[in-house]
Structure formats: structure tokens, C-alpha cells
Structure 1
Amino acid sequence: MSRKTQRTRPGPLQWLGYAVGRTLPDSMRDWVRNDLVGDWAVPRHLVRSMVPFVPVFAAFFLFPGPLGLRASMVLLGVLLAVFYAVSYMAQNRSRRLERHGLPPDLENPKKASRHDAEKAAYEKLHGPSVTWGVERRGGNELR
């Protein structure tokens, strides 16, 4: 018997499980990292977060009434689901990262370098940032 090679990407059933919260094998950790903090992480999160609601949206079309009413029900459900998906995106990402053995505060490298460059440009123009909770007025520090 030949030894089965480890997959680095999930298959369709594994992806569906991942979309509803299952943990993928360690061999797919790089794929998970890219999925959660890569360049297209936000659109992927929105698509992934809609998967559990597809049966609910399909059930709305089975309700009696005009097609416009049923479509409005689906639209309202989609808008509500997208609202909550966007609202809890950061918490969902950190939980998924942690469940897959990655640091929960992992960021997109491009976004992190852009933030560092903006901070350096700001400090070049205005001096070092003041720490949070300390306000300076007339040489006195207020806490």
C-alpha cells in the first residue's frame, strides 16, 4: 500500500465543515493562514459566513405567497447575516486562528507594513506618539 499524501487544501466536504466551524488538519495550516489573513480574507469571510444560512434562505422560498415577498424575506435575511458577519469578523478570525494553532492576533503582512509606514510618517511629522491615557497640558501630565 502506498502512503497517502497529506493534503494542503481542503476538499469540498472539508471546506463545508470548516465553514461551519470545524478545525482542519495541521497539514492545511498555511491554507488556513492565507484564508484568514490573506489579501482576499474579507470577501472569503463573507462567503464562508453565508454557508450556514443557505438552508434558511432556501426555506424562505418555500413559504406561500408572491415571489416578490419570498425574495424580500431572503434579502432581509442576507442583509442581517452580512451585518453580523461584518460585525464579528475580527472575533471570528481570531477564534479560527487560535483553533488552528496560529497566533490569534495575526495580521495581513501587507496591512501591517502599511500601518508601520503610516506610523513612521506620522511620527516624522509630529514626533513620537503619546501613550494612551496620558494627556499633556502646559507641561503637566494628567491621568
Structure 2
Amino acid sequence: MPARTTPTPVQRIRYICGKSLPPPLTDWVLADLTGPGATRRYLLRFLVPVIAPLCLLLLLPGPLWMHLSMMGLLYIPLAYFTVALLYVYRRHRLVQHGLDPDLADVAQRRRRAGDRLAYERRYGRAA
């Protein structure tokens, strides 16, 4: 039987909850954390599940604007810190799976390398 290239539904749920996946799925983890759409997936995993518990605030007595204000007071800082800790989270998950944490910003380094090369060509420092 060939080795799996994607996690099973149970493995995926455990992965989303913070557990590590077995070594044969390392390529999938790398693609999940650094590939196209990685930031979108990260934000969805952290920000969407919180909406249901926040909706429980609507059950409290009071006007709707007060409920929405309470929800905003909780959700806006959550979104802010989720975005702020994206890089830290990626590095942690890469280390957790035995990968090089410097892979977290490979795309950014590639863009910077291209900008650096263009700069050096423009100002006569590159061959």
C-alpha cells in the first residue's frame, strides 16, 4: 500500500489542534505552512471557529448594539494578535515537525533577493 500524501480527517483535526503529523506527511506540512494560501488557511483556522462562541453573547439581555460591541471587543484584538503572531506560529509548527524554521519566510527571501539583485544591477555593484 503506498504511503499517504495527505492526512486522514482525524489526523487533520489533530493537526489543526496543535499535534504533529507523522514523518511521511512532512511535505504536506511544509506545503500547508509555506505554500500558496498558507496565510489564508492560518487565519481561517483561528478566526472562524471563534465566531460561534461569540454568538452566545447575543443570548444575553440588552440591545443588539451592546452585544455587537462586546463581540467586537473580543474579536478585534484576537484578529490583531492572530495576524501579528503568524510568523512565530509558522516557525513553531515547522520546528515541531522537524523542519528548518527558516523555511517560514522563503517566499519573502526570494522577493528580497530579486529586489537586491535589481538594486545591485541598477547601481553597478553586480556583474
Matched AA of 1:90: Y
CA distance in 2, matches of 1:21, 1:51: 16
Task: Structure 2: give runs of 5+ residues left out of the alignment.
Answer: none
Report the equivalent of 1:123. 120
CA distance in 2, matches of 1:23, 1:121: 40
CA distance in 1, matches of 2:9, 2:64: 31
Aligned counterparts, 1:16-95, within 5 A: 16-50=13-47, 53-54=50-51, 56-95=53-92
Return the offset for 1:54: 4.7
Q: Deviations over 1:63-87 (max 9, x none)?
A: 3323332233223322111100111
CA contact (8 A) 2:58 2:67 kept: yes
Equivalent pairs: percent with the same residue?
35
Higher-helix-fraction structure: 2
Tell me the TM-score normalized by structure 2. Answer: 0.77
CA distance in 2, matches of 1:34, 1:102: 12
Tell me the TM-score normalized by structure 1. Answer: 0.70
Matched AA of 2:65: G
Return the offset for 1:8: 2.5
Return the offset for 1:110: 4.6
Q: Secondary structure at the match of 1:7?
A: coil
Report the equivalent of 1:10. 7
Higher-strand-fraction structure: 1
Question: When the two structures are aligned, how many residues end up with a matched partner?
Answer: 125
CA RMSD between the two structures: 2.6
1:97 equivalent in alignment to 2:94: yes
Task: Structure 1: give runs of 5+ residues left out of the alignment.
Answer: 129-143
CA distance in 1, matches of 2:72, 2:15: 25
Q: Summarize the Cα distance change of 1:111–1:74 in structure 2 as closer, same or farther, 3 Å threshold.
A: same
Matched AA of 1:86: V
